[in-house]
Amino acid sequence: MRSVSPGRLEQLLRSLLPAGEQHGDVARVIALLLGGQPLPEGADGWRARLDWQRAIAEALKPLPGWRYVPGDS
């Protein structure tokens, strides 16, 4: 399971989103958390992406004013 601290995630989101923006692309957040390293190809990459999405959703829970809304893809 991937993990990210709530504080680190909030810092990253604030730097990523323009002032007043209230939503962002989880793929961009994952890319920034990975520091430019690509996800694996195929099924392993999809599983890693889902792990990161879960980690991001968990890290947002204690942060007031932030929440993770899953997409359709």
Q: Which pTM value belongs to this model?
A: 0.84
Beta-carbon contacts of 19 under 8 Å, excluding residues fewer than 6 positions away, are none
* Residues 8, 32: Cα–Cα separation, whole Å: 11
Torsions phi, psi of 19, nearest 5?
Answer: -55, 130
Q: Report which of 5, 15, 50 is spatially closest to residue 30, judged by C-alpha positions.
A: 50
Cβ atoms of 39 and 45 within 8 Å: the answer is: yes
Domain ranges of the chain: 6-60
pLDDT tens digits, one per residue of 16-64: 888 877 788 899 899 999 998 999 999 999 999 999 999 999 999 999 9
